[in-house]
Amino acid sequence: MVLTRYSMQFAKNCSNFLLASIIFLFISLFLLLFPAPSLSKEDKIVEVVETASKSIVNIKTDELTKATGEEKRPSFFRKYFSGEEEVEEISENIGSGVVLDPKGIIVTNEHLIARAINIRVKFINGKEYNAYVLGSDPEYDIALLKISDTVDFPYIKISKTKDIKVGEKVVVIGNPYGLSSSVTVGVVSFLGRNLRIENRIYANLIQTDASINPGNSGGLLLDAEGNPLGIVTAIYSEAKGIGFAIPIDDVMNMLSEFLESSSRRPILGLFMEKRKDEKSAFLYVNGVIPKSPAEKNGIRVGDKIVELNKKKIREGMKLQSIIRSVKGKNTIQLKMLRGSKPYLVSVDLEDIQHYTPVPVDESLCGIRISDIRGYPKLKYKLKDKEGVVVTKVYSGGLGEKAGLRIGDAIVKINNNKIADTANFNTFMIEGLQRNYILYQVKRSDSMFFLPVKLDTLL
């Protein structure tokens, strides 16, 4: 009887086990054939876009140059000079930007704001704000803007960077052709790409096949998890389906340097241009500021700089970053060529960190200015009581290149009112440290803006 009872119990247990196994297999097969809804990579991208788009802004700028670039379109405004036949269009430049701080600090491309006289930013919710330039770095093609309003804004938080792999899926969010918050998806095609586009040299770029069109510049490149990878830049017009982005590490390094309260632009005191021959790249010295560290160390116009701190000059080399990165050393070493003869120059680091061109107008700007009073006021028939008047423009200087003329009254620098030459010097030095100078000029009865390009100054 006992054996029979155990046999029956065993049979019952076996039956239950068999039934449970069948049910388990059925459920497993069902889940395999009809998986439960889960967050796929595509669904994750939808979440990423919804979150990130709130912090991507459309940027519109007015420029004095004629509409020649792909991202520019003519405006109805024109600048007329009284008593002259010259007519200059104001063109509209469109692009994108990324808000990195709730107080309205935006990162974008320097080429979008290099000649801007007015900047407006628009969020995905339709709200628009005025913005101004905090600073820029032409070498990185990065600029920092600040929204004029003081409210808190949605922003992208960059906590830590990640390794990027060729082939991984990426998302681009920007405003191509002014169409706000457009999204494209692709993969990373190449890392560390160097190229030259329209006389601008780009280095260490992320290449992607995600569609990037005019207006995307300054937008954001993210991975499928929503991690920021870079700031979009450099549309390669000769090939379709190729886009580039500045790695977020490079962006944040530049911004952290600039945002430090003690940060300032070290000045060696020469004007240069990057050139390349059949042998190598070099910096050609085409101007030396009098009494600057460059002049004191014997550097002359026509010299070539072939090495900086024992690093060979390359087209994509970030010169200011190399100079700023010198720590624990007292000198900066330059290897020069004068003709075919090499020589070394060791420049005291303290000299370039504390040097300011004096007088600012003639040494740096290539102009001579005067207070608006007495003889200059009568000679140039000026009605203004505040500002400075240009009494001389030197050939080849920054002032001439910017478009200044004798008799022009400079009334503002970077939106700061100029009362006299002392104000001019103060705000010019501030602008020099920010890598951004915008004059407001009065010529006869016309008022207009003139940006001053500083990317040739070392």
Closest residue by Cα to residue 213 from 183, 229, 233, 235: 235
Structure tokens at 254: 């530049």
How many angstroms from the chain centroid is the CA of residue 57?
A: 15
Name the residue with tokens 């940006």. Answer: 451
Instruction: For residue 412, count other CB atoms closer than 10 A to its CB.
Output: 19
> Active-site residue among 217, 292, 370, 408?
217
Our answer to whether residue 217 is catalytic in this structure is yes
> Active-site residue among 55, 101, 111, 408?
111
The 3-state DSSP class for residue 144 equals strand
The span from the CA of 416 to the CA of 405, in Å, is: 21
The span from the CA of 67 to the CA of 141, in Å, is: 20
The span from the CA of 135 to the CA of 132, in Å, is: 9
Structure tokens at 311: 């690093």
Structure tokens at 350: 């303290």
> Active-site residue among 141, 223, 250, 408?
141
Burial class (CB in 10 A: 0-12, 13-18, 19+), 410: buried
Which residues make beta-bridge pairs with 117? none
The 3-state DSSP class for residue 65 equals coil
Our answer to whether residue 148 is catalytic in this structure is no
Structure tokens at 69: 């670039």
Residue type, 111: H
Name the residue with tokens 């004629």. Answer: 66
The 3-state DSSP class for residue 19 equals helix
Q: Any residues with CB less than 8 A from the CB of 130 and at least 6 apart, and which? A: 118, 119, 120, 147, 148
Our answer to whether residue 455 is catalytic in this structure is no
Residues listed for the chain:
458
Which residues make beta-bridge pairs with 119? 61
SS (H, E, C) 66-121: CCCCCCEEEEEEEEECCCCCCEEEEEEEEEEEEEEECCCEEEECHHHHCCEEEEEE
Burial class (CB in 10 A: 0-12, 13-18, 19+), 321: middle
| Catalytic positions, written as ranges | 111, 141, 217
